[in-house]
Structure 1
Amino acid sequence: MDASPDSELTSYLKIFSHLEPIDLLHLTRVAKAFRSFLLGKQTVGIWASARRNVDDLPECPPFLSEPAYAHLMFSPYCHNCLAGNVQNVIFTFNIRYCASCKRQQTVDSYLLGGRGGFNGGMTADMFCKTLNERRRIVYHKVEVESVWHSWLAIPDDDEEARETFRNHHRERVQQIEAHAILCEEWDKARKASRKQHLDEQKKEKLETVVKKLRAAGWGAELDAMQSSNYFELSDHALIRSTKRMTDKAWKTIEPSILSLMKGYKKTRLINERRKELKIRLLWLTGVIKEAFPDLRTTSSDFQPHFVDYALMPEFRQLSESPSSADVTLEDYSLLRDNLVEYTNRWRDQIGDELTSIINSGYRFPAFQDPLRLAMTFFDCTACRRKNMQFPAVIAHECLRVRYWRCREDSDAAYFYEDVVLNAWNCRTWSSRNLAVSRASDRAMKIIQACGLDPLKTSRLTLQELDPRVDHARTAHGAIDQEEAEWELISGEAVALAKECEENNRESLFQEYYPQLLFSCARCDDPMSNRNTTLPRALDHVRRAHSIANPSAENGDIYISGDTPPILEKPVLLVSDRICAFDLTATENKYFEESGAICDFRGFQHVDFTTSV
């Protein structure tokens, strides 16, 4: 080889004439003899000939040598750190940088001292520039330092030399930028051609794999993949590679591809089963709507949801029938007449759950239903809601939460449940967030103060008696108070208290009305558009259901079952002879809660400030 440049020059020149610049670059890196020969001045023609073998490659610019031009265009190494596979060529800088070196070797200003510095009479058009990853103009650090070094060497009073210097660099920049445009266009075309070639190779490889899989019996899966152009296969790393698909290569990747197909088959069967179940659930929904066609009302919040019906044994058994079974809409319609029975059974089950909670704290007679008693109250452990009674407690929003899928599709034991809960995006009713309220203990004392047995007195009985205790507060309203002792009041005080309550009932309702929660009566999904304010509920009906003037009177919205009850405010009976400073701590407490003030003598409701 050492003698070849002299003894066999003609042969090598003939060979070199068929090579491309990248081939010559490789030769300069494999042997010192080739490097010494090819980088000599006498081989410019060899490099030019190799360059012309590359289609549409722009001519070598005058400011670069042929080897340097070839190195810039074809050598995939960073010119600063020698990192490999660097495709980012900055043609305006005539250099190839990796991302890290580009940030290090560029500056955001050509001024002396950086941004906001001294321009010294130079202008931006004297420097080559490019855009960084943030699309901001940056300059080549090496060039900026070199130009400034030359500029500062020119005497300050030699304006002619300075102008010549400026014009020279402006022409240089224009020449570089003009050639950079040609190089960028060629580079884009080359990359597009390369991409097209690789895409054709991958397509051919994919077609070969598809043929082999069809021959192996995977036709159903391939038919399902066809709508996505076999994306699941084409995205596989072994198929994305550019290696040709030979029989030997197929044997190498076959186990991995077959594993992919098995997984896809499993997913396909699951999706088909899920789709089948959703169709059956739609039939069930239609049957339930036919059985209960009326708009939703407050009592609807105490009824089962579609999720609860779908998980009832009768509907679940029908819906979970195998695909081979001929399940139709008529099969669901046959169960429609039993919906009332199923609903009552569901409410009985809910009642049993609530009864077990209240039984954990009290012992009731065997014949007594604790849920109907006036002393039975529940608290929610998930929020601050307290003192809920049956059946309003059923509608509490924390007992039926949204469903977030947390199981894998492969979990067959919960597959049907997952489909059902995901279809309506909510879970079944659950009492896990309920506990016996402390108000039950206070209620027992109040009921005992009324001369009644708290283990036998129902809410209906207490409402019919309508007693008043202590400072003439209604028995139900006294539940929220913490006093340990209560006593039944009677006679004229009760009459005065009831009259005062009646006089204030309208204003009390007007005060509480904006705080009431409303739900949409036209939405089937109780998990959405519920427990909201009146303006929002009305706005939803106008927007979602195209009703111009919705109202609660027309049944478009209703008061949610989860709305806290309106409690009568405490009534404070005070003689007009008593000074405000003579009120007890308890009386002041009632007054601070805006309790009503009644004049004993005049039987009139008066403001406290005028009754002293």
Structure 2
Amino acid sequence: MPRKTAKRARRSPPERDARISSGVSSTSSPGQVKVTRVDALKSRQATRAGTPQSLLNMPLDIVLEILTYLGPRELLQLARTNKAFRAMLMSRTSQSVWKASRRNASVPERPARLSEPAFAHLLYSNYCHICLTLRSVQPMWEYGVRYCGDCKKARFPCMESTIHEEFDGKAFSFFNFLTVRRGPRKHRVYYYHIPEMEYFRSAWHMLGGDKDLRRKFIQENTQLREKKIQFGRFCKLWVGDQAVARAEELDRIREKRLNAIVEKLRAMGYKEEIEWIARDDYAPLSEHRLVRKAEPLTARAWKGMKEEIIDLMDEVRDEWLDRRSPGIEESRIKTRRG
């Protein structure tokens, strides 16, 4: 059987090699320069002025001053962009920046047990603090965590009777138990947070049998428990206020979009029809799915919805003419679609 011979690699013509090395495309016409990867990279880097990366080239005091105008959510996102910003914002020297950001966002007062970044993480991160899932995540403000259903079940076991005895019968005084009512009689079932239990158990045993120290420990942690419960209430109120503010913002965006569409329809010759439906908050126009979108009206968006909105307004015109002159045949001229 004849032995196969390896194919020789075709040598590039000298003029082609010269074009490639000099950045000139072999397929381009004379005088047309090919943009190399290095040139493209430099071009992209040049257009990044004003991005977060460009802040790192500024003096530190100026950078910190700029960051004080951001909210905790933006600072948290910025800290996750690269190592330099993370090192800056996670250091103690940036505490004044975080405090200013909390004032900007009107968030609840930060509990002493949480650092500034940890507090922002609790308020604005939507994923489970254990498994990082985004499904069915519930904030548990009193405990300073967010858990999904599975992790919550794993981290909150049911309380055993021995726990109450272990802490001299005072566990209910300072433990922040999660209380659930179960059964037909709705009797209370208590669940404890494992990290909290581990801390209390370690601190309690370090006190030994000193009754005075144990009494002081119970008193301090009873006060801390009340602060945690109060913090949870404040956070729930804050979440409610945020939801209301967000709903109002979306309503303003929808109203602005509706007004922009109304003005366009007026200019197209639907002035009388617009005046007629204005008595009923512009229904059915204001109830149309494309009109109710909480998005600014762009030229592209209007182009995509224009025909459908005109069809709707033609129906409005027909109804308006019927009610204006019942029983009388009128000529109905459709608005020219241009």
Report the TM-score, using the length of structure 1 for normalisation.
Answer: 0.36
Structure 1 segments unaligned to the other structure (5+ residues): 274-322, 326-612
1:13 corresponds to which letter in structure 2? Answer: L
1:169-225 deviation digits (Å, cap 9, x = unpaired): 212111222333333333333332232222122122123223434545496598468
1:246 corresponds to which letter in structure 2? Answer: T
Per the alignment, residue 68 of structure 1 pairs with: 118
Per the alignment, residue 144 of structure 2 pairs with: 94
Contact 1:131 1:138 (8 Å CA) reproduced: yes
Supply the distance in 1 between the matched residues of 2:139 and 2:313 (Cα, whole angstroms). 41
Deviation at 1:244, TM superposition (A): 0.9
1:459-487 deviation digits (Å, cap 9, x = unpaired): xxxxxxxxxxxxxxxxxxxxxxxxxxxxx
Correspondence for 2:164 among 119, 122, 125: 119
Per the alignment, residue 200 of structure 1 pairs with: 252
Deviation at 1:33, TM superposition (A): 1.3
**DSSP-derived class of the 2:129 partner:** coil
Deviation at 1:140, TM superposition (A): 5.7
Per the alignment, residue 69 of structure 2 pairs with: 18
Supply the distance in 1 between the matched residues of 2:283 and 2:160 (Cα, whole angstroms). 54
Contact 2:173 2:218 (8 Å CA) reproduced: no
324 and 247 in structure 1: CA distance in 2 versus 1, 3 angstrom threshold: same
157 and 129 in structure 1: CA distance in 2 versus 1, 3 angstrom threshold: closer
Supply the distance in 1 between the matched residues of 2:309 and 2:54 (Cα, whole angstroms). 54
- Equivalent positions of 1:584-595 (< 5 A) are none
- Equivalent positions of 1:246-395 (< 5 A) are 246-258=298-310, 324=327
Per the alignment, residue 172 of structure 1 pairs with: 224
Supply the distance in 2 between the matched residues of 1:132 and 1:231 (Cα, whole angstroms). 47
Per the alignment, residue 104 of structure 1 pairs with: 153
Contact 1:129 1:140 (8 Å CA) reproduced: yes
Deviation at 1:151, TM superposition (A): 7.2
Deviation at 1:101, TM superposition (A): 5.2
Deviation at 1:161, TM superposition (A): 4.7
Per the alignment, residue 242 of structure 1 pairs with: 294
Correspondence for 1:38 among 67, 71, 89: 89
**DSSP-derived class of the 2:164 partner:** coil
Supply the distance in 2 between the matched residues of 1:263 and 1:128 (Cα, whole angstroms). 62
Aligned length: 266
1:177 corresponds to which letter in structure 2? Answer: I
Deviation at 1:255, TM superposition (A): 3.6
Supply the distance in 2 between the matched residues of 1:78 and 1:256 (Cα, whole angstroms). 43
253 and 85 in structure 1: CA distance in 2 versus 1, 3 angstrom threshold: farther
Per the alignment, residue 52 of structure 1 pairs with: 103
Per the alignment, residue 335 of structure 2 pairs with: none
Contact 2:73 2:124 (8 Å CA) reproduced: yes
Contact 1:154 1:161 (8 Å CA) reproduced: no
Supply the distance in 1 between the matched residues of 2:309 and 2:140 (Cα, whole angstroms). 41
Per the alignment, residue 535 of structure 1 pairs with: none
Supply the distance in 2 between the matched residues of 1:25 and 1:210 (Cα, whole angstroms). 40
Report the TM-score, using the length of structure 2 for normalisation.
Answer: 0.60
205 and 123 in structure 1: CA distance in 2 versus 1, 3 angstrom threshold: same
Deviation at 1:72, TM superposition (A): 1.8
**DSSP-derived class of the 2:304 partner:** helix
Q: Which has the larger radius of gyration?
A: 1
Deviation at 1:95, TM superposition (A): 2.4
Deviation at 1:39, TM superposition (A): 0.8
Deviation at 1:65, TM superposition (A): 0.7
Deviation at 1:137, TM superposition (A): 8.3
47 and 95 in structure 1: CA distance in 2 versus 1, 3 angstrom threshold: same
1:79 corresponds to which letter in structure 2? Answer: H
Per the alignment, residue 184 of structure 1 pairs with: 236
Deviation at 1:155, TM superposition (A): 8.4
Higher percent of residues as helix: 2
Contact 2:181 2:189 (8 Å CA) reproduced: no
Per the alignment, residue 19 of structure 2 pairs with: none
Per the alignment, residue 503 of structure 1 pairs with: none
Supply the distance in 2 between the matched residues of 1:2 and 1:210 (Cα, whole angstroms). 42
Supply the distance in 1 between the matched residues of 2:132 and 2:277 (Cα, whole angstroms). 47
Deviation at 1:159, TM superposition (A): 4.6
Supply the distance in 2 between the matched residues of 1:3 and 1:324 (Cα, whole angstroms). 71
1:104 corresponds to which letter in structure 2? Answer: K
Supply the distance in 2 between the matched residues of 1:133 and 1:239 (Cα, whole angstroms). 46
**DSSP-derived class of the 2:85 partner:** helix
Contact 1:20 1:53 (8 Å CA) reproduced: yes
Contact 1:108 1:137 (8 Å CA) reproduced: no
157 and 47 in structure 1: CA distance in 2 versus 1, 3 angstrom threshold: closer
**DSSP-derived class of the 2:74 partner:** helix
Per the alignment, residue 209 of structure 1 pairs with: 261
Supply the distance in 2 between the matched residues of 1:125 and 1:42 (Cα, whole angstroms). 38
Supply the distance in 1 between the matched residues of 2:114 and 2:274 (Cα, whole angstroms). 57
Which is worse superposed, 169-178 or 230-239? 230-239
Contact 2:156 2:194 (8 Å CA) reproduced: no
157 and 17 in structure 1: CA distance in 2 versus 1, 3 angstrom threshold: closer
Supply the distance in 2 between the matched residues of 1:3 and 1:226 (Cα, whole angstroms). 53
Structure 2 segments unaligned to the other structure (5+ residues): 1-51, 329-338
